[in-house]
Amino acid sequence: MKETILKLLFRHAGSYLSGQEISDELGVSRTAVWKHIKALQAAGYQIETGHRKGYRLLPQEESLLPGEIKSVLKTRWLAHQLVHLESVDSTNIWAKKHHHELQHGALVLAEEQTGGRGRLGRSWESSKGEGIWMTLVLEPGLPMHDAGKMTQLAAAAMHQAIVGVTGLPVKIKWPNDLLVGDHKICGILTEASGELTRIERLLVGIGVNVNQQAFSGEIAAVATSLRIMMEQPVSRVALLMLFLEIFEKCYDDYVLHQSYGAVLRVVREHSMLLNQPIDVIRGDQRVAARAVSIHEDGRLEVVYEDGQSELLAGGEVSV
């Protein structure tokens, strides 16, 4: 309930919401609302209480320090080992180098990356304190060909978390991008080690553009941030908490209970590619096709103009 009130306040950040409005919206008493607000204030959220006006969330000076995160973390196992780095080349690289110190479920977070990496050898701009730059360390014990399903799972969880906190119309561009309009807001870089029959370790690297106020040069044409889209700052902590809870639930459903249907529903329903004409990019070549389905195993089925179809496991497509 505390988190639901927080989400509501974030959606109305800067303006007052009365205790009555919150209690009507959530179906709890005003006294319960007041108690939850007190608990949020104790957890460090700056919530102003105005006489007869209600509650207003003030812009947050947030850090992703473990103490702060752990006081609001509600997961059963995910991110219980938490590494916070002020500055690092890349959280994925750091997680590889510190392999032996990290257990299943560990979360490596950085305020800044100086050599953030994207897919296909690209770089990923990761400015200080303005985004969520993180790597999840997982040991799902799945065969290697299921690694792509974990990228889809992360995309579905982040989609739900961003929509939950901001209400923005986010789309998923298979296999690993989240966009608002045609501007990228989140990218996922999944790296697996192990053998064909069994993934030993999976590093799910995720970058979310949260509070950048502008982008420079070529990036401005393709990227945006939640803050730019919302025209107000967005809480990295609230977004991260919601993401971790959703990710943990999806992961347990899939790995422990072989239930992947909810992830598939999200990536299919919010796909920006399905039933669209697309280009499949192979080096310098672009081949016109139509995206027809995202399969259970996370692969994208495309049909070319000559009627041939192909299942793509990765690579690049454009709309």
| 124/251 with CB nearer ligand BTN | 124
The nearest distance, CB 191 to ligand BTN, in angstroms, is 9
The nearest distance, CB 72 to ligand BTN, in angstroms, is 21
Q: Which secondary structure element, helix H or strand E, spans residue 49, and what is its range?
A: strand 47-50
The residue number whose beta carbon is nearest to ligand BTN equals: 187
Token pair belonging to 35: 């108690």
* DSSP output for 126-190: B-TTTEEEEEEEE-----GGGHHHHHHHHHHHHHHHHHHHH---EEEETTTEEEETTEEEEEEEE
Q: Which secondary structure element, helix H or strand E, spans residue 288, and what is its range?
A: strand 285-294
| Phi, psi dihedral angles at 33 (to 5 degrees) | -60, -45
| 36/119 with CB nearer ligand BTN | 119
Query: Which residues touch 38 (CB under 8 Å, ≥6 apart)?
Result: none
The nearest distance, CB 192 to ligand BTN, in angstroms, is 14
| 111/146 with CB nearer ligand BTN | 111
| 146/177 with CB nearer ligand BTN | 177
The nearest distance, CB 94 to ligand BTN, in angstroms, is 8
The nearest distance, CB 176 to ligand BTN, in angstroms, is 6
| 124/215 with CB nearer ligand BTN | 124
* DSSP output for 185-239: EEEEEEEEEEETTEEEEEEEEEEEE-S-S---TTHHHHB--HHHHHTS---HHHH
| 22/278 with CB nearer ligand BTN | 278
Which chain residues interact with ligand BTN by CB under 6 A? 90-92, 113, 116-119, 122, 124, 126, 133-135, 176-177, 187-189, 205-207
The nearest distance, CB 161 to ligand BTN, in angstroms, is 16
| 112/252 with CB nearer ligand BTN | 112
Query: Which residues touch 126 (CB under 8 Å, ≥6 apart)?
Result: 110, 112, 113, 114, 116, 133, 207
Token pair belonging to 113: 């990356």
Q: Cβ-count burial of 130 within 10 angstroms (0-12 exposed, 13-18 middle, 19+ buried)?
A: buried
| 140/207 with CB nearer ligand BTN | 207
The nearest distance, CB 116 to ligand BTN, in angstroms, is 4
- The Cβ of residue 223 has, within 10 Å, a number of other Cβ atoms equal to 19
Residue that is written with structure tokens 């509070």 in the block: 211
Give the SS3 label for residue 269.
helix
Residue that is written with structure tokens 């007041």 in the block: 34
> Of the candidates 117, 87, 66, 112, which has an alpha carbon nearest to the alpha carbon of residue 212?
112
The nearest distance, CB 34 to ligand BTN, in angstroms, is 38
